[in-house]
Amino acid sequence: MYEADDLENGCRVALKAMNAKEGVMTMSLRQVKREISIASSLKHDHIVQLIDVFAEGSSLVLVWELVQGPDLLDLLNACGGRMSEKQAAHYLLQLHKGVTFLHANNLCHRDLKPENCMIDSKTDKLVLIDFGLSKHLDSAVTLGVGTPDYMAPEMLGYNARGGAGQGRVHPGGGLSGAKQYDARAVDVWAMGVMLYLMVAGVYPFEDPNNPDNVACTLQNVRDGRIRPLPADVSHQCADLIVRMLHKKSHKRLTLEQLLDHPWLKINAPAGQDQQRKNSTKSGEMAKTAKRAASDFKRKSMGSAARKSTSALLEEVGAEPRKAKSSRSKSSKSSSAGFNKLMSSLKLF
């Protein structure tokens, strides 16, 4: 990732550059296409915005909204490893807004974690990033996807109805379950892990005697063995965490039920009321986002020829510099390269 200047709009942006040679991406083509498709269809205050996509030489460059500030994990560490319950509720509600919007658009994230939550230093706003593992709710069947500390039991082959499930190797990576799991419940689980981490300062399923042993962590997840919370964590907070981390997904709290929990009413009543208003409008917002998707694609294709000196950062790692007002000859080659790459990768 690089930070750069958008000279046309006069703002700072974030660049994600991916190399491509002879139409073959260095990362999963399926993942690239999915991330672009999903990100371009979403517009929400708590979801990072994809601004543009263009080619520069053999690289595909994604231009993202720049969130200037730390991620939630860095912020947690800056707080001494733990947050107050009111502060944790403040960020949980913002995350709830972003995830609720995703689900309203028939999408799931599947990799919710503090590192994928950026906090704007000026506004204290949480912005959700990284949609590489996101999918449509009705097509989320692959097991073993995500980050181990935040994986729900059903992602490890545990049958949501109370038994050990059987998984098989999936051609796209990971395991594929015989039955589709509820990806919405998977996101709620990850949010529960994040809440635990914010108020306790440790991971709920990490073995304190083997903190670096992923196998021990995953076994604890499958068995539902949660580490005891610190004594100073309120009973209401502990109750919410336990309900969000219920081993059986059909008994886990839903996003809507989460808003009715007493802990949120105590720690963020104003935010809870506003969040409920936002949730009632999710259907209308989803329709708006779908209309915006086609507009974005047309805009991206039309602006592909724009010359951007920020693309040079991918090659030389230099600071952005002012560009001449007139377009250079290379802008035409960038446009040609973009169209050729888009055609070969069939991204749109």
DSSP code of residue 207: B
What length is written for the chain?
A: 348
- Read off the pLDDT of residues 44-76 as tens digits, 9 standing for 90 and up: 999 999 999 888 877 888 899 999 999 999 999
149 to each of 283, 304, 305, how far by Cα in Å? 32, 39, 42
Q: Which amino acid is at 217?
A: T
201 to each of 117, 171, 195, 233, how far by Cα in Å? 17, 37, 10, 11
* Per-residue pLDDT at 213 exceeds 70: yes
CB 316 within 8 A of CB 11: no
DSSP code of residue 210: B
DSSP for 41-85, written as a single string:
T--BTTBPPEEEEEEETTEEEEEEE---S-BHHHHHHHTTS---H
Neighbour tally for 165: CB within 10 Å:
18
- Read off the pLDDT of residues 318-336 as tens digits, 9 standing for 90 and up: 333 332 323 233 333 344 4
- Read off the pLDDT of residues 224-262 as tens digits, 9 standing for 90 and up: 999 999 999 999 999 999 999 999 999 999 999 999 999
- Read off the pLDDT of residues 253-293 as tens digits, 9 standing for 90 and up: 999 999 999 999 999 866 455 555 544 443 444 444 444 43
Residues annotated as catalytic (active site), given as ranges = 111
- Looking at residues 175-195, what average pLDDT do you find? 83
78: Cα separation from own chain's centroid: 22
Query: For 72-280, CATH number?
Result: 1.10.510.10
At which residue do the structure tokens 């592909």 appear? Answer: 304
Domain coordinates in residue numbering, the chain: 2-66+285-345, 72-280
DSSP code of residue 310: G
CA dihedral 237, 241, 243, 246 (to 10 degrees): -160
Query: Domain 2-66+285-345, CATH 3.40.50.2300 — does that match?
Result: no
Please list, residue by residue across 43-63, b when 16 or more beta carbons sit within 10 angstroms of its beta carbon and e when fewer do: bbebbbbbbbbbbbbebbbbb
- Looking at residues 76-98, what average pLDDT do you find? 96
pLDDT at 317: 34
